[in-house]
Every structure is written in structure tokens, then in C-alpha cells.
């Protein structure tokens, strides 16, 4: 049976028991349209732009600034890219960033210093229940410890952070424990666990397939759309722990109809392409347990020390998730695929934080394509996009076989 419980922090208005999006227009493809007309030569005013455009601008500005670049983030309220410029670098770096259309601020820590601090944490404080990521908004390393980090382990983490020096890192406590979000229940099933389908893709050999969490893929080789039902897909590749948390599952039926969309409950959102996350970006997550939730990106290239091992290269967010949501999609209101649900702490009643596997990295690793680059993309319940939750398919669901 499908779970229809609404999370406390929901990304849409409830109407008639389903997630209605029309009134708030949160996920309409044309909502929050870009106003980023090309600035005049020498203009210093920051450009107004969408988060997806901010990602492109950040890449260009990083190239312009070189060693002076100290990270960037998207200011969703002002709809602009904020770029950090480190001291001691090129004196003209700030002017170049402003001319490119970014808002500029001078900060105390360079990217090299922050990455050096992260390496120190990795070598001296890789303790289960901890995570860290560079936070460009504070120009510090955001270090988090869950409720299991106590006693000598807390002392070790705290002393390591202190040795990094003042103004280099912020240490916080998280309620609950860092865990992956696989669980027994409904949605897609394998090896006694429930996970969520991520994005439908096209495998390198042209076969229909889908992405989900790697810890789901290493836990079971075959996956079904109903508890105890006939398997519909076989794991082709899976990574967990280590350099990511992703798996490619190919459909057993080569004619499987795998729609390029996310099922939102009462309608679907077409997924057009994969994209990199930007700190400060508004994002949405869909999962078989908690449905639709929203939040913002907090950090990139995050390292998480799960009980099963360390995973690197993740996206850190304040989006909630719960067991069974593993592998579900993280995406934007205009249909860009951002991530796959990995794990985190908290829940959708009290709130929490969740880490996601970047979709772009997963696609490159498994040799699959999504959106305009492939024949299949996105997520969906039934191939007709109705969100049918019969036979334990869950709200997120699985595409049906082709005719």
C-alpha cells in the first residue's frame, strides 16, 4: 500500500488528499524565469538569474579568478550569484567577477586552505556519524556530528577542528544518527529492503534503465515493483561506500516504457537534463515514504562517515527524508535532475539534513544518459504518469513494461 503521509515541510499545497501545485506554481517549468540579460560592458551590478544559470556563471568566474576564487553560492532571495574572493591574490580579480555579473565579497579563507582542512579531517577524524563540507556562505568547513558521536570520539573530533585554527571550521551537532534511508516496506523492493526509483536513463548499450542509491544496489541484485513480486530489473553497476552512492539497474524487459518525468502525485514534471547543484539553490525531493519535500543546498563535495563506511562527493541539503526514500530523485522546479537520495539524519516531522549523490557524477561513472541526451529520463509511477500506487508500487513508482 502506498504511503500518502505529508511531511511537515512540504513543497506543495494539499488539496483533496493530493499534492496540488497550481496555486503556488512552485514547480512550473516557467516559474521564476531568468531575467539575466547580458550586462553592458564594465557594468558592476550583479545579474539577476536562475540557479541553473548561476551554476554556469560560477564556472566561468572561477576560471577568471584562478587562485583568488574562494567559492560561490546562489542567493535565492536576491536571485544572484555571490562569489568569494580570497586575500592575497590578483588585485583585479574582484573587478573581473563583477563585470561578469556576480556579486563579490572578500573572505579570509582560500579554497586551498579549506580543502587542506577537509583533508586533515579525513585523515584524523573519519569517525562514523560525522560529515563535512565546505560552506561558501560562511567561508568555513561545516563539520557535523550526529547523536552517536560522544565521549572520546567527540573529544577527538572537537580537538581536530580546533587544530584547524580559528575561523576555519564550524562544528555542530545533529539530532538522530546518520544512516542510509533503505528500509522494509513498499516502492521498489530487493533483498527485503525498500528503496525509491531515482531517474530513468538510457544505459550505454541503449537499454532502458534507472538510477537509484548505491547502498540499495549492493544490498540486492534484483528489484521488483511489488513486495514479493516478480523482479523487473537487475543491478548492472553499484558503488557504495567510497566515491559515491549510486547504482544502475537495467530493466529486464528491453521494451520497458521508462518515462522521463517525476510523479508529483496529481501531475508529473518532465525531466529535461542533469545539472550540477549550487549552494543556496532551491531543490525538491520525491520519495516513496514521505512524498514531496523541499529545501536548499547547503554544501558540495560533502564527505559522510556512515556506519557502513565513508562516502565522498555528496551534496548536503536541509531537505528531510526517511527510511524508504533512498535512491529517490532530487530535482529543480524547472525539471533539472540534481541528485539521488543517499542518507542523513532526522525525519520529516522534526526536520533534518539529507545527503545526495550528484546525478552528473553517477551518469558519467555508469556511462548512461538522461534527458535530451538519451531516449529515457526522469522518474514516474506508471508509464501513463498517473501515479498509480497499486500492488505496492508507491507514490514514486516504477515504469510498466512496454507493449
Beta carbons of 239 and 327 less than 8 angstroms apart: no
How do 291-306 and 222-224 pair as beta strands?
A: unpaired
- Nearest Cα to Cα of residue 337 among 367, 365, 311, 362: 362
* Beta strand spans in 92-187 (E): 103-106, 130-135, 140-145, 169-173, 179-180
* Nearest-angstrom CA–CA distance, 4 and 187: 12
C-alpha distances (whole Å) from 105 to each of 60, 98, 132, 297 are 17, 10, 23, 20
Beta carbons of 267 and 384 less than 8 angstroms apart: no
Beta carbons of 371 and 211 less than 8 angstroms apart: no
Q: Per residue in 287-313, is it b (16+ CB within 10 Å) or e — as a string? A: bbbbbbbbbbbbbbebbbbbeeebbbb
Q: Which residues are catalytic?
A: 215, 245, 326
Sign of CA dihedral 395, 398, 402, 403: negative
* Nearest-angstrom CA–CA distance, 394 and 388: 8
Amino acid at each position: 500500500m502506498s504511503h500518502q503521509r505529508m511531511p511537515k515541510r512540504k513543497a506543495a499545497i494539499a488539496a483533496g488528499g493530493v499534492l496540488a501545485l497550481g496555486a503556488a506554481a512552485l514547480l512550473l517549468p516557467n516559474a521564476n524565469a531568468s531575467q539575466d540579460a547580458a550586462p553592458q560592458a564594465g557594468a558592476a551590478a550583479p545579474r539577476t538569474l536562475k540557479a541553473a544559470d548561476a551554476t554556469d556563471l560560477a564556472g566561468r568566474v572561477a576560471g577568471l579568478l584562478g587562485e583568488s576564487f574562494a567559492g560561490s553560492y546562489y542567493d535565492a532571495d536576491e536571485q544572484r550569484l555571490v562569489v568569494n574572493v580570497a586575500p592575497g591574490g590578483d588585485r583585479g580579480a574582484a573587478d573581473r567577477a563583477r563585470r561578469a555579473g556576480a556579486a563579490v565579497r572578500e573572505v579570509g579563507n582560500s579554497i586551498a586552505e579549506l580543502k587542506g582542512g577537509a583533508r586533515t579531517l579525513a585523515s584524523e577524524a573519519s569517525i562514523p556519524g560525522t560529515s563535512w563540507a565546505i560552506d561558501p556562505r560562511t567561508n568555513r568547513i561545516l563539520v557535523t556530528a550526529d547523536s552517536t558521536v560522544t565521549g572520546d570520539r567527540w573529544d577527538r573530533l572537537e580537538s581536530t577542528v580546533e587544530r584547524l585554527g580559528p575561523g576555519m571550521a564550524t562544528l555542530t551537532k545533529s539530532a538522530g544518527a546518520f544512516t542510509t534511508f533503505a528500509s522494509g516496506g513498499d516502492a521498489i523492493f530487493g533483498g527485503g529492503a525498500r528503496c525509491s526509483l531515482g531517474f530513468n536513463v538510457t544505459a550505454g548499450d541503449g537499454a532502458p534503465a534507472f538510477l537509484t542509491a548505491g547502498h540499495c544496489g549492493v544490498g540486492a541484485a534484483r528489484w521488483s515493483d511489488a513486495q514479493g513480486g516478480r523482479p523487473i530489473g537487475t543491478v548492472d553497476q553499484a558503488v557504495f561506500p567510497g566515491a559515491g552512492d549510486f547504482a544502475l539497474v537495467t530493466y529486464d524487459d528491453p521494451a520497458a516504457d521508462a518515462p522521463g518525468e517525476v510523479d508529483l502525485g496529481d501531475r508529473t514534471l518532465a525531466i529535461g537534463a542533469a545539472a550540477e547543484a549550487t549552494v543556496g539553490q532551491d531543490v525538491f525531493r520525491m520519495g516513496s515514504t514521505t512524498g514531496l519535500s523541499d529545501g536548499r543546498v547547503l554544501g558540495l563535495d560533502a564527505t559522510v562517515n556512515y556506519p557502513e563506511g565513508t562516502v565522498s562527493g555528496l551534496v548536503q541539503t536541509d531537505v528531510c527524508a526517511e527510511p524508504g526514500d533512498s535512491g529517490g530523485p532530487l530535482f529543480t522546479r524547472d525539471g533539472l535532475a540534481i541528485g539521488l537520495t543517499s542518507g542523513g539524519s532526522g525525519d520529516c516531522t522534526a526536520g533534518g539534513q539529507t545527503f545526495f549523490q550528484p546525478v552528473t557524477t553517477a551518469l558519467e561513472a555508469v556511462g548512461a544518459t538522461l534527458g535530451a541526451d538519451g531516449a529515457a529520463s526522469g522518474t514516474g509511477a506508471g508509464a501513463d504518469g498517473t501515479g498509480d500506487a497499486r500492488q505496492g508500487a508507491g507514490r514514486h513508482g516504477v515504469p510498466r513494461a512496454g507493449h
